[in-house]
Amino acid sequence: TGPTVTQRDGKVYVSMDDKLLFKSASFDIETRGAEAVRELANVLALNPDINVTIEGHTDDVPYRGSGNLQDNLDLSVKRATTVSRLLLQNKGIDPVRIISSGRGEWLPLDTADTAEARQRNRRTEIILTPKLDELLQIMNE
C-alpha cells in the first residue's frame, strides 16, 4: 500500500506503512519506499514554507535485532533518520526544515492485540507544518 494522507490540527500527515519502507527489524529502506520518499521530497523542495517532522513508530513486540539498537525506540529513531537522510538527498530542501524523531510503540493507532493492529502501528509519519513564524508575522500586520 502507498502513503495515506490526512489532515488534523492544522498539519498534514503522510503516513507510510512499514511494509512499504522497511523489512522487519530493519532500518534499511526498500526500493518502493525510497521512490515514494523521493517523490515527496520533490514536492517539499517546491514548497519551502513547510517544516517537516519525520516520526518513526513501531509495534509493541520487543525488538530482537542485533547491532547498536537496544529496543523499539532506537529502531523508530533510526527509521526516522533514514527517511530524513533520503529527503535531504534533494538539495532543494534546507536541512533546517527537518526534524527526526522516534515514538517507539507508545503512540499506537490501534491498541488491539492482533497482527493487524501491530501492522497498522508500524509506520513512519511525515508531518508537514506551515512555518508558524511567518503565520504570526502575517497575523501581527
- Contact yes or no for 52/44 (Cβ under 8 A): yes
Interval 73-89: pLDDT, tens: 999 999 999 999 999 99
* The pLDDT value given to residue 66: 79
pLDDT of 133 reads 66
pLDDT tens digits, one per residue of 94-133: 999 999 999 999 999 999 999 999 999 999 999 999 876 6
What pLDDT digit, counting tens, does each position of 3-29 carry?
899 999 889 999 999 889 999 899 999
The per-residue pLDDT for 85 is 98
pLDDT of residue 1: 66
Cα separation, 72 vs 122, whole angstroms? 10
Residue 54: the pLDDT is 98
Residue 60 has pLDDT above 80, yes or no: yes
Whole-structure pTM over 0.75, yes or no? Answer: yes
Q: What is the pLDDT of residues 126-138, one digit of tens each?
A: 999 987 666 566 6
The grid coordinates of residue 40 equal 515527496
What are the residues facing 17 on neighbouring strands?
A: 123
Residue 36: per-residue pLDDT = 94
- 106 φ, ψ (degrees, to nearest 5): -85, 0
